[in-house]
Amino acid sequence: MNYSKELSKPIFKIIQTVSDELNYQTYVVGGWVRDLMLNRTQQKTDIDFVCIGSGITLAKKVYAKIGKNAKLSIYKNFGTALITVNGENYEFVGARKESYRKTSRKPIVETGTLEDDQKRRDFTINAMYINLNTNNYGKLLDPFNGQKHLQEKKIKTPLNPNTTYHDDPLRMIRAIRFATQLNFKIEENSYLSIKKNCERLSIISQERITEELNKIILSKTPSLGFKMLFETNLLHQFFQDFVQLKGVEIVGKHEHKDNFDHTIKVLDNISLKTDDLWLRWAAILHDIAKPLTKRYDKVHGWTFHSHEFVGSKMIPKIFKKLKLPLNEKMRYVQKLVMLHLRPIALSKKIVTDSAIRRLLFDAGNDIDDLMLLCDADITSKNPNKIKRYLQNFQLVRKKLKVVEEKDQIRNFQPPINGMEIMKAFNIKEGKEIGIIKNAIKDAILDGKIKNDKKEAFAFMVKKAEKLNLLLKK
């Protein structure tokens, strides 16, 4: 089969010319070829090339022909080179064979044949090659029936799966990632091999594991991936906190829901509404503290009091362990986990404007994301109950809108700052400043005064008098 018509990108013609000049056999390989077969090429901005020869030499000559907009990076230790141009990455490598030590992920790399290169590929669907030389331009090489497995929607390794997964244990998570993204099945022997070799994941850096995990989370139906990660015991190797959510405990007539199943359902629900990775992480972690806060009460059954508070406190440790960013992304997830129960209380018919104001103040610009999380958190099997809960949250949204339009509370800054307080009473920095500022903030949120400088000033004077502070004359 020939795919010369599909090789329309200018980069392919440049590589054709250079390869002929160098007398190199050169191929486009991997994900780009796979996605071409699946009509998904528009999603791929990274393209891999392999040649029989020096990948670095090939890349240098291609780079020289591309022009000024390109950037060339050479990795001598790995024998690879990367060209970046117009937002796309082109990676070049010479055909090679790899061997591995039992305790190390780092391979012993040697120059190899095309067959050697084919055998080192992770899956058959990623081991298809399209020739870029003039005499065979566009010709497909498919040594392991990758096309057939695409049609069968099957993830299969080129070699014995024990060999493939032993060589690079990250491929076990990659298998699950591809199965999740493409809605494929992992071939049975391969799946059993993942279970058998799961503990070998320990030699892989957490950064590489988390990169694959995030791709699973960003898939259309991430629950598929999490189920497989759990069933194969891979999840147990790096995310025990999440594993602990699994299971149901029964005492008498009281049982609680399986919080693992509930959480991945919440994740699927929110994935229908957003592609935001960190909002999806908030869904993953919203009930993470339930195993720690689980208590049994003879009257009320199982309770998980304060799990939102405990969960928010757990997040920095989880993020650090998983090598996730410890910045505003983490704080965003913390905030949503902390607040995810608050809107439920506001769905009651009688609720004060003060409570609405405080949620608006605490959530700030993330209030809409919080409400999306609350919607996703409804996983009842009773359609009437789901309908009622969603209606309640729509009521909350209306209340939030009314109060926001009236009081402009979202991310508001108190109308009087610390410098103004010090100047008004001729005082230096001290605890009194904080007391007065908090009093003004609470008075506004409680509706005692408007979010107005004049009213805030009058309130400040009265509060200051109680602290024996007199207005400067």
- pLDDT 10s digits, 230-266: 999 999 999 999 999 999 888 877 778 899 999 999 9
The answer as to whether 410 is a domain residue is no
Calculate helix-pair angle for 277-285, 206-217, nearest 10 degrees.
Answer: 100
Q: What is the pLDDT of residues 44-79, one digit of tens each?
A: 578 999 999 999 999 999 999 997 789 999 998 888
Closest CA to 412 of 382, 380, 440, 393: 440
Q: Domain check: are 214 and 141 in the same one?
A: no
In whole angstroms, give the CA distance from residue 211 to residue 262. 24
Kindly state the average pLDDT of the residues 192-202: 96
Q: What is the pLDDT of residues 85-101, one digit of tens each?
A: 988 999 999 987 665 55
The domain that contains 230 carries what CATH number? Answer: 1.10.110.30
Contact 263, 377 (CB under 8 A): no
- In this predicted structure, which of 11-20, 28-37, 103-112, 180-189 has the lowest mean pLDDT? 103-112
How confident is the model at residue 471, as a pLDDT?
A: 82
Pairing of strands 295-297, 301-303: antiparallel
The domain that contains 14 carries what CATH number? Answer: 3.30.460.10
Q: Model-level pTM?
A: 0.88
Pairing of strands 46-51, 154-155: unpaired
Calculate helix-pair angle for 418-425, 431-445, nearest 10 degrees.
Answer: 120
In whole angstroms, give the CA distance from residue 211 to residue 218. 11
Instruction: HSE, CB side, 13 Å, CA atoms: give it for residue 286.
Output: 27
The answer as to whether 89 is a domain residue is yes
Give the range of the structural domain holding residue 125, as residue numbers without chain letter: 4-152
Q: Domain check: are 103 and 178 in the same one?
A: no
Direct distance between the N- and C-terminal alpha carbons of the chain, in angstroms, rounded to an integer: 92
Closest CA to 291 of 250, 255, 254, 244: 244
Give the domain-ending residue among 223, 238, 253: 238
What's the chain's average pLDDT?
90
3-state secondary structure of 318: helix
Three-state secondary structure string covering 407-466: HCCCCCCCCCCHHHHHHHHCCCCCHHHHHHHHHHHHHHHCCCCCCCHHHHHHHHHHHHHH
The answer as to whether 413 is a domain residue is no
The answer as to whether 329 is a domain residue is no
Name the token pair of 115. 């067959």
Name the token pair of 44. 């791929």
The answer as to whether 112 is a domain residue is yes
Q: Domain check: are 158 and 217 in the same one?
A: yes
- Alpha carbon separation from 122 to 31, 173, 288, 313 (Å, rounded): 11, 11, 33, 39
Give the domain-ending residue among 130, 152, 174: 152
In whole angstroms, give the CA distance from residue 147 to residue 176. 19
Q: Domain check: are 56 and 94 in the same one?
A: yes
Contact 179, 214 (CB under 8 A): no
Q: Domain check: are 68 and 171 in the same one?
A: no
Q: Domain check: are 71 and 170 in the same one?
A: no
Give the domain-ending residue among 238, 269, 293: 238
Three-state secondary structure string covering 16-34: HHHHHHHCCCEEEECHHHH
The answer as to whether 342 is a domain residue is no
> Phi/psi at 300 (nearest 5 deg)?
-95, -10
Domain count, the chain: 3
